[in-house]
Amino acid sequence: MPTRSHIPRPAARRLSLYLRECESLLTQGVPTASSESLGARLGLSAAQVRRDLAYVAQAGQRGVGYDMATLVTVLQEGFGLERPWRAVLVGVGNIGRALLSYAPFRESRVAIVAAVDCDPATIGSQWGGRTVESMQSLGEVVRRGGIELGVIAVPASAAQLAADDLVAAGVRGILNFAPVQVTVPEGTACSHVDVSVELRCLAMEVALGGEHRPRRGRVGARSR
């Protein structure tokens, strides 16, 4: 399978959207879809869809379109999702609880399977079937659970410490919800979801009116 080594980053993010869309279409019983129709659903041009999909596989059939079942398989493989991924949540505040309660993170291919917090009042409580453990036990939680990813949902002031702890515990990728940049050593992936930034950018876009040229879609997070 010629999963090309160098998929452009923006394309990689879109591939995740294709995957979800294809899964959805597949469960709806749609066996096949063209780049045109996929693009329409996701707000992308047909050319873009074809280019992106060509990065991971020759999964289309000329004159017909893409076979959803094949595409789902190929995309999952491209994302390393043929095996499940386990994540630990650090920080069980408002955002943390929302994440724990969010259905897709209980069962899906990449799931939050454990949570830790430093507040004694929170430790021991249950959320979406997981019991919150102490911050100190993070290392053990990670080891015991075979956990590879960490999610940071602590206040900004504690985010860097949380990141350090996660790295020390052996996690290989971090998703940070705190509104600060965290630094991680080379070799650890780290992306950032910042809701305040999103809202601000939205305000800016509205403020600037339509004058921003109307490019097609984008999905995002920052990483290094």
Site for DNA in 38-57 (CB under 7 A): 44-48, 50-51, 53-54
Q: Pick from 98, 90, 15, 82: which is nearest to 51 by CA?
A: 15
Note whether 143 binds a copy of itself by CB under 8 A: no
Note whether 140 binds a copy of itself by CB under 8 A: no
> Which partner, DNA, a copy of itself, none, binds residue 62 by CB below 5 to 8 Å per kind?
DNA
Least distance from C-beta 9 to DNA, angstroms? 4
Distance in angstroms (rounded) separating the CA atoms of residues 79 and 83: 10
First to last CA, the chain: 27
Note whether 149 binds a copy of itself by CB under 8 A: yes
Please select the residue that binds a copy of itself; options are 11, 12, 46, 54, rule is CB under 8 A. Answer: 12
CB atoms within 10 A of CB 214: 6
3-state SS of the chain: helix, strand, coil percent to 5? 45, 20, 35
Note whether 120 binds a copy of itself by CB under 8 A: no
Cβ distance to a copy of itself smaller for residue 6 or 62: 6
φ, ψ (nearest 5 deg) of residue 195: -65, -35
Cβ distance to a copy of itself smaller for residue 17 or 54: 17
Stretch of 1-9, 65-73, 117-125, 131-139 lying at the interface with a copy of itself (CB under 8 A): 1-9
Q: Residues in contact with a copy of itself, total (CB under 8 A)?
A: 76
Distance in angstroms (rounded) separating the CA atoms of residues 7 and 48: 13
CA distances from 50 to 47, 144, 159 (A): 5, 42, 39
Tokens of 59: 């999964």
Least distance from C-beta 60 to a copy of itself, angstroms? 21
Work out whether the CA dihedral 93, 94, 97, 98 comes out positive or negative: negative
CB-based burial, 49-66: b 16+ in 10 Å, e otherwise: bbebbebbbebbeeeebb
- If you count them, how many residues does the chain have? 224
Please select the residue that binds a copy of itself; options are 22, 25, 38, 42, rule is CB under 8 A. Answer: 42
Interaction residues for a copy of itself, span 78-117 (CB under 8 A): 78-81, 85, 87, 94-95, 97-99, 101-102, 104-105, 108-110
Binding site for DNA (CB under 7 A): 8-11, 34-36, 44-48, 50-51, 53-54, 58-66, 213, 215-216, 218
